[in-house]
Structure 1
Amino acid sequence: MSLLNHAVVDGVLPRIDSAVAASVEPFTVPDIMRPDGGSKRYGIVHYGVFIPGLPEPFRYCNIMTLLGATGTVIMDNDYLLSDPPSDTATFLCSTAQGQNHHYQAYSIARECRREEGDVLVSFGDNLVITGEFPRYQVKAAYENFELALDIHCTDTVSWFVRNAIYDHFSLLASCSGTLTQNGQSLEIQDHLCTFEYARSASPYALTRRPIPDVWKLPADFFTYQIINLTDDTQLLLTKVCSLGRTVFQGMHVRTRDGEADIHVDDVSFEVLEHQQEDALAPDGKAMRLPVRFRWRVREKGAEVLEIECRIASRWRFGLGRGYTASYAFEGHYQGQAVTGDGYIEYIDCQAR
């Protein structure tokens, strides 16, 4: 099984996926962005809104939803699975402000509305997304937190995966609205963000029982990071590993005027320092999390990006088995000194 998995990771996946080529073309397939994936073969659907670079004390805000259990090592928290697992949905929402955040499991059948009236999808009383491409409205509420946003998507798209059984992409977007947490309010105006969607087949289409870790799809490391470099330029930085081997490592660059680029040939992510104590999930699983890390991106030998980053907020659990936070960075982009804040998602299930 290990040899077969390595063969798939190293040889098959790069040949069947068209994500890199599609990431420099305009977005033309909004019809696929449905809560059922648009076909019975899709058992997993994801909507996300991610806003980096907010003022203190918020720093960032994330809306991370997942309908359906994935059967992957990094994403499924088995202690939350419904019966059957395919009925499981989760919703994560957090900022850097305060002590609390929201991470909860829902029954898709009983608690999630999908394509009812003007509602695209909802999660109990905690989240509702309405609208259709290119404009969406997002309202979220939980203890001491309220959010109401208007999202305007562009046709500038970054594809992470694009093949016959799995589509995952991020649209460059802007948002306006109000965020209130623990009595502090923030007015947001035309702020760069992302609106994201994924649909995928699921192994839970074949079983009603939880899949043991040894048989899960072997993705074991993931980090995804977003930087609003300027008011008009956004960077997406990603690394994904399976069985200890890098499946994808790259940087997407996109701007409000429609420019899009992707760097994948000479990209490196390096953790420089870890927390002294592992983070513990609600089910007791431990994970090593970074304190400092570095990105380097080069194109044909020339430096495009080199930044050193330091975590600047508490980690929030609920990005699958992993965590989200914000960080401060400094370094150089295309020869110019840069500083700022970034948003990070991080999952490390690799043995050590």
Structure 2
Amino acid sequence: MSLKDVVFHAAQRGVSGSYALRGKPFDPATPFHPPQGRYGTVHYGLMLPGLPAPLNFIDVIAVIGQPRITLWRNDHLIETTAADTANLLIGAGIEFPGQFRGYQVDRDLELAADSSIVRFGDEFQLEGTYPNFTVAYRNPAFDLYLQVRATDKVSHFAKVRGGLYDHWSLLCQYDGAVTYDGRTTELSGLNTLEYARGADVALPFSFFTYQIINIDDTTQVLMTEVLGPLGVPVQRAVYVRSLHDHGGTYEDNFAFDVHRVEPVARRTPNGLPMRLATEFTWSVDDEQGRELIEIQAVTNDDYVYGMAGGYVGSYRYTGRFRGAPIDGTGYIEYIGNR
């Protein structure tokens, strides 16, 4: 481990309490609620990576209450107040009308105090309590129904001291079906159920990426990089978990390198220019200094807007995991310029 890694890890541990939770089973008493009290913004997410083309991936990204973080905010959707504004994305490798839209919380949403019902109008519903959930989305061009069974394998991305921000992800299994273009496709596999809550604080993030790969039918790998002002790293980590163990978190010699971006910058609905990665690599070592994973990726040209203030999509990858060759389709969230 380099001296830079030692200093960076020490700083992270001083800010976040998530490190003390590593390797521990999910506590069902973990907060899971809509906006309340100091927490003006809540995020629910379900991500299904590695689907056959042309789907490539499906995700559900629901944000209730607009955060003050510029990268994650959708000012253009606000009709009344930021707290009264929600947005929903049903992302996939195919585009369809209405897959990203805004809602007014008081007018359009039904929110149980324990999030056992999260309903956006007549379009979307997340229902259930840990560990069993159902997801239903109805759109004339895209219909989705999932039964989700959460495990106790959890990755805590952030638990900022002082209660400013919490974010965690559960390893899950799902079964269901999607209907589009007049055909129905049965779905099953590994997915994530994610939750975040944030206080009304303007954190100065400048870049964010989050990626998911299902190595096989039991093993999932998550990667995240968050940068602050001037590209200073806030978080760089790879999480490994499986149906059989709680896995680990790896940060040593983390590298994420973008080799090619789209030739023309996109402009988000909020007016921010973003040049999205089309070719990139990432890797990290294990605790013994050996390469844990190395990924070479080329995107599938299916980025769609609506991951907070950025984009989601998929990529084809080859690489190695614990010395063995791997390939498949990964999931990516990308906000900002790298």
- Residue 73 of structure 1: which of 64, 67, 70 is its match? 70
- When residues 118 and 262 of structure 1 are mapped into structure 2, their CA distance, relative to the original with a 3 A threshold, is closer
2:320 partner amino acid: H
- When residues 246 and 101 of structure 1 are mapped into structure 2, their CA distance, relative to the original with a 3 A threshold, is farther
Aligned to 1:248: 235
Aligned to 1:274: 261
- When residues 233 and 13 of structure 1 are mapped into structure 2, their CA distance, relative to the original with a 3 A threshold, is closer
Aligned to 1:155: 152
Distance 2:136 2:64 in 1: 18
Aligned to 2:209: 223
Aligned to 2:224: 238
Distance 2:318 2:19 in 1: 27
1:276 partner amino acid: P
Identity in percent? 33
Aligned to 2:186: 187
Conservation of the 8 A alpha-carbon contact between 1:323 and 1:345: yes
- When residues 241 and 79 of structure 1 are mapped into structure 2, their CA distance, relative to the original with a 3 A threshold, is same
- Residue 196 of structure 2: which of 198, 207, 229 is its match? 198
Which SS does the other structure have where 1:46 is aligned? strand
Which SS does the other structure have where 2:106 is aligned? helix
2:136 partner amino acid: K
**Deviation at residue 284 of structure 1 after TM alignment:** 4.2
Distance 2:309 2:87 in 1: 12
Conservation of the 8 A alpha-carbon contact between 1:94 and 1:101: no
TM-score by length of 2: 0.91
- Residue 306 of structure 2: which of 309, 315, 318 is its match? 318
- When residues 268 and 132 of structure 1 are mapped into structure 2, their CA distance, relative to the original with a 3 A threshold, is same
Distance 1:275 1:183 in 2: 32
- Residue 344 of structure 1: which of 312, 332, 335 is its match? 332
- When residues 282 and 201 of structure 1 are mapped into structure 2, their CA distance, relative to the original with a 3 A threshold, is closer
- Residue 303 of structure 1: which of 287, 291, 311 is its match? 291
Distance 1:172 1:121 in 2: 20
Conservation of the 8 A alpha-carbon contact between 1:129 and 1:137: yes
Distance 1:50 1:120 in 2: 19
**Deviation at residue 301 of structure 1 after TM alignment:** 2.5
**Deviation at residue 282 of structure 1 after TM alignment:** 3.1
**Deviation at residue 165 of structure 1 after TM alignment:** 2.3
Of 320-329 and 115-124, deviating more is: 115-124
Aligned to 1:287: 274
**Deviation at residue 99 of structure 1 after TM alignment:** 5.2
TM-score by length of 1: 0.88
Which SS does the other structure have where 2:39 is aligned? coil
Aligned to 1:138: 135
Conservation of the 8 A alpha-carbon contact between 1:95 and 1:101: no
Distance 2:185 2:322 in 1: 32
- Give deviations 1:282-310, integer Å, cap 9, x for gaps: 34432111110001111233111111000
Which SS does the other structure have where 1:15 is aligned? helix
2:145 partner amino acid: A
Of 77-86 and 327-336, deviating more is: 77-86
- When residues 121 and 177 of structure 1 are mapped into structure 2, their CA distance, relative to the original with a 3 A threshold, is same
Conservation of the 8 A alpha-carbon contact between 1:224 and 1:344: yes
Which SS does the other structure have where 2:237 is aligned? strand
Q: Does 1:107 align with 2:104?
A: yes
- Give deviations 1:109-129, integer Å, cap 9, x for gaps: 111101189951111112111
- Give deviations 1:179-228, integer Å, cap 9, x for gaps: 11222321013x1000011111114xxxxxxxxxxxx4211100000000
Distance 1:11 1:219 in 2: 20
Q: Count the aligned residue pairs.
A: 327
1:70 partner amino acid: P
Distance 2:300 2:26 in 1: 34
- When residues 59 and 296 of structure 1 are mapped into structure 2, their CA distance, relative to the original with a 3 A threshold, is same
Of 152-161 and 110-119, deviating more is: 110-119
Aligned to 1:5: none
Aligned to 1:58: 55
Conservation of the 8 A alpha-carbon contact between 2:34 and 2:114: no
Q: Does 1:173 align with 2:172?
A: yes
Which SS does the other structure have where 1:314 is aligned? coil
1:167 partner amino acid: D
- Residue 327 of structure 1: which of 311, 315, 319 is its match? 315
1:326 partner amino acid: S
Conservation of the 8 A alpha-carbon contact between 2:76 and 2:269: no
- Give deviations 1:125-166, integer Å, cap 9, x for gaps: 121111100000110122401111100000100011113221
- Report 1:32-47 matches (<5 A): 32-36=31-35, 40-47=37-44
Conservation of the 8 A alpha-carbon contact between 2:13 and 2:19: no
Conservation of the 8 A alpha-carbon contact between 2:96 and 2:141: no
For the aligned residues, what is the CA RMSD?
2.1
